[in-house]
Chain A
Amino acid sequence: MDSTAPRIEHKNTTCYMCACRCGIRVTLRDGEIRYIQGNPEHPLNHGVICAKGASGIMKQYSPARLTRPLLRKPGAERGAGEFTEISWDEAYSLLEERLRRIRASDPKKFALFTGRDQMQALTGLFARQFGTPNYAAHGGFCSVNMAAGMIYTIGGSFWEFGGPDLDRARLFVMIGTAEDHHSNPLKIAISRFKRNGGRFISINPVRTGYSAIADEWVPIRPGTDGALLLALTHEIIRQGLFDREFLIRYTNGPELVVQDEGSERFGLFVRSDKPVDEGCFDPQNKLWWDRITDRPVDSHAEDADPFLLGAFTLPDGTPVKTAFQLLADRVKDYTPEWAAGITGIPAATIRRLAHEMGITARDQKIELPIAWTDTWGRDHETVTGNPVAFHAMRGLAAHSNGFQTIRALSILMSVLGTIDRPGGFRHKAPFPRPIPPCAKTPRGPEGVRPDTPLGGMPLGWPAGPEDLFVDADGRPVRIDKAFSWEYPLAVHGLMHNVITNAWRGDPYPIDTLMIFMSNMAWNSTMNTVEVRRMLNDRNEDGEYKIPFIVVSDAFQSEMVAYADLVLPDTTYLERHDVMSMLDRPISEFEGPVDAVRVPVLPPTGQCRPFQEVLIELAGRLGLPAFVNPDGSRKYRDYPDFIVRYETEPGSGIGFLAGWRGAGGEKFMKGEPNPNQWEMYARNNCVFQYHLPPSYQYMRNWNQGYLEWAQRHRLTRYAEPILLHLYSEVLQKFRLAAEGRGGARRPPEHLRERIATFFDPLPFFYEPLEAQRIDRARFPLNAVTQRPMAMYHAWDSQNAWLRQIHAHNHLYVHPGTARAAGVEDGGWVWIESPWGRVRAQCRYSEAVEPGTVWTWNAIGKAPGAWRLSPEANEARRGFLLNHLITEELPAEAEGVRVSNSDPVTGQAGWYDVRVNIRPAAADEPHTSAPEFAPVPPAPGTAAAPPRRLAYRAGAGLFKKLFG
Chain B
Amino acid sequence: MTQLALIIDLNVCVGCSACVTSCKEWNTSGSAGPLVDLNPYGADPSGTFFNRVQTFEIGSYPNTQTVHFPKSCLHCEEPPCVPVCPTGASYKRPEDGIVLVDYDKCIGCKYCSWACPYGVRELDEDRRVMTKCTLCVDRIYDETLPAAERKPACVLACPTNARLFGDVHDPESEVSHLIREQGGYTLMPEWGTRPANHYLPPRRTTHRIQPDQLVRADNPLKKERQLPMPALDEPALDDVTSW
Q: A240-B221, A356-B207, A359-B209 in contact; A875/B43 too (CB < 8 A)?
A: yes
CA A362 to CA B44, docked complex, whole Å: 54
B4-23 Cβ-contact flags toward A at 8 Å (1 or 0)? 00000001111111101110
Q: Would B34 and A54 count as touching, CB distance under 8 A?
A: no
Contact B15 A179, beta carbon cutoff 8 Å = yes
Alpha-carbon separation in the docked complex, A679 to B219 (Å):
55
Question: Does B45 contact A802, Cβ atoms closer than 8 Å?
Answer: yes
Complex Cα gap A217–B67 (Å): 13
Of A302-310, A663-671, A753-761, the one with at least 4 CB within 8 A of chain B: A302-310
Residue among B12, B21, B65, B202 making CB contact with A191, cutoff 8 Å = B12
Q: Is the CB of B220 within 8 A of A244?
A: yes
- Whether a CB of chain B sits under 8 angstroms from the CB of A678 is no
What bracket does the count of chain B residues touching chain A fall in? Answer: 35 or more
Bound-state CA distance A948–B148 (Å) is 32
**Chain B residues with Cβ under 8 A from A528's Cβ?**
none
Measured between beta carbons, the chain B residues less than 8 angstroms from A947 are: 36-40, 126
B173 within 8 A of A: no
Minimum C-beta distance from B179 to chain A (A): 16
Write out the residue numbers on chain A whose beta carbons fall within 8 Å of the beta carbon of B214.
239, 241, 355, 359
When the two chains form their complex, are residues B209 and A352 in contact, meaning their CB atoms are under 8 A apart? Answer: yes
Tell which of A43-51, A473-481, A732-740 binds the partner.
Answer: A43-51
Known: A51-B17, A184-B159, A213-B13. A799 touches B66 (CB 8 A): no
Residue A198 interfacial (CB < 8 Å): yes
Of A171, A184, A363, A803, the residue contacting B47 (CB under 8 A) is A803
Q: How far is the CA of A47 from the CA of B146 in the complex (A)?
A: 13
Restricting to A52-84, which residues have a CB under 8 Å from any CB of B? 52-55, 57, 63
- Whether A212 lies near B65 (C-beta < 8 A) is yes
Chain A: minimal CB distance from B33 (Å) = 6
Query: For the complex, is A34 an interface residue (Cβ under 8 Å from B)?
Result: yes
Give the Cβ gap from A258 to chain B, nearest Cβ, in Å: 21
Contacts of A951 in B (CB 8 A): 28-29, 33-34
Does B40 lie within 8 Å of A804, measured CB to CB?
no
Is B46 interfacial (CB-CB < 8 Å)? yes
Chain A binder among B55-63, B101-109, B110-118, B189-197:
B55-63
Q: Are A310 and B209 in contact (CB under 8 A)?
A: no
Query: Measured between alpha carbons, how far is A443 from B94 in the docked complex, in Å?
Result: 77
B37, A800: Cβ atoms under 8 Å? yes
Say which residue of B45, B149, B226, B227 sits within 8 Å of A803 (CB atoms): B45
Question: A54-B25, A355-B209 are known contacts. Are A191 and B162 too (CB-CB below 8 A)?
Answer: yes
Q: CB of A210 within 8 A of chain B?
A: yes
Q: What separation, in Å, do the CA atoms of A216 and B207 have in the docked complex? A: 10
B157 at the interface (CB under 8 A from A): yes
Bound complex: CA of A40 vs CA of B155, how far in Å? 13
- Also in contact, A191 and B126, with CB within 8 A (given A799-B45, A803-B37): no
- Is residue A180 within 8 Å, beta carbon to beta carbon, of the partner chain? yes
CB distance from A580 to the nearest CB of B (A): 25
Out of B16, B33, B227, which one reaches A50, CB within 8 Å?
Answer: B16
Q: In the complex, are the beta carbons of A49 and B22 less than 8 A apart?
A: yes
CB of B126 within 8 A of CB of A953, answer no
Residues of B with C-beta under 8 A to A171 = 207
Assess the A215–B205 pair: CB atoms within 8 A.
Answer: yes
Contacts of B49 in A (CB 8 A): 803
Within the assembled complex, what's the spacing in Å between the Cα atoms of A800 and B12? 24
Select one of A188, A291, A363, A871 contacting B42, CB under 8 A. Answer: A871
A contact residues, total (Cβ < 8 Å)? 99
**Known contacts A49-B157, A308-B220; A215/B206 CB under 8 A:** yes
Tell whether B85 is near chain A: CB-to-CB under 8 Å: no
Known: A37-B156, A51-B21, A845-B59. A788 touches B14 (CB 8 A): yes
Let me know if A391 is at the binding interface, CB within 8 A. no
Q: Which of B223-237 contact A (CB under 8 A)?
A: 223-224, 226-227
Do residues B205 and A870 form an inter-chain contact, with CB atoms below 8 A?
no
Q: Identify the closest chain B residue to A238 (Cβ).
A: B221
Contacts of B243 in A (CB 8 A): none
Given contacts A179-B14, A212-B66, A867-B42, contact A187 B24 (CB under 8 A): no
Complex: A803 Cα to B153 Cα, angstroms: 20
Report A-chain residues with C-beta under 8 Å of the C-beta of B161. 48, 188, 191-192
Complex Cα distance, B231 from A954, in Å, reads 89
**Closest residue of chain A to B52, judged by CB?**
A804
In the bound complex, residues from chain A placing their C-beta under 8 Å from that of B227 are: 240
Binary flags per residue of A780-807, CB closer than 8 Å to B gives 1, else 0: 0000000011000000010111111010
Residue of B nearest to A291 (CB): B223
The residue among B41, B148, B214, B226 with the most chain A CB atoms within 10 A of its own CB is B41
Cβ of B64 < 8 Å from any Cβ of A? yes
Q: B89 CB to closest chain A CB, in angstroms?
A: 20
Asked whether, in the complex, the Cβ of B38 is within 8 Å of the Cβ of A212, the reply is no
The answer to the question of B68 belonging to the interface, with a C-beta cut-off of 8 Å to chain A, is: yes
Asked if B44 contacts A950 (CB within 8 A), the reply is: no
The 8 Å CB contact of B160, one of A45, A54, A57, A191, is: A191
Report how far A945 CA is from B221 CA in the complex, Å. 71
A815 to B62, CA, bound (A): 12
CB distance from A830 to the nearest CB of B (A): 20
Residue A704 CB within 8 A of the other chain: no
Q: State which of A34, A37, A208 has its C-beta within 8 Å of the C-beta of B157.
A: A37
Q: Top 8 A-B pairs ranked by shortest CB distance? A: A191-B160, A244-B220, A799-B40, A187-B159, A949-B34, A212-B66, A240-B221, A51-B17
* 8 pairs, CB–CB < 8 Å, chain A vs chain B: A35-B26, A45-B159, A180-B16, A190-B160, A363-B213, A947-B36, A949-B28, A949-B35
Q: A207-B66, A211-B66, A241-B214 are in contact. List 9 more A-B contacts (CB 8 A).
A: A48-B159, A54-B25, A171-B207, A191-B162, A209-B15, A212-B68, A215-B205, A849-B61, A950-B35
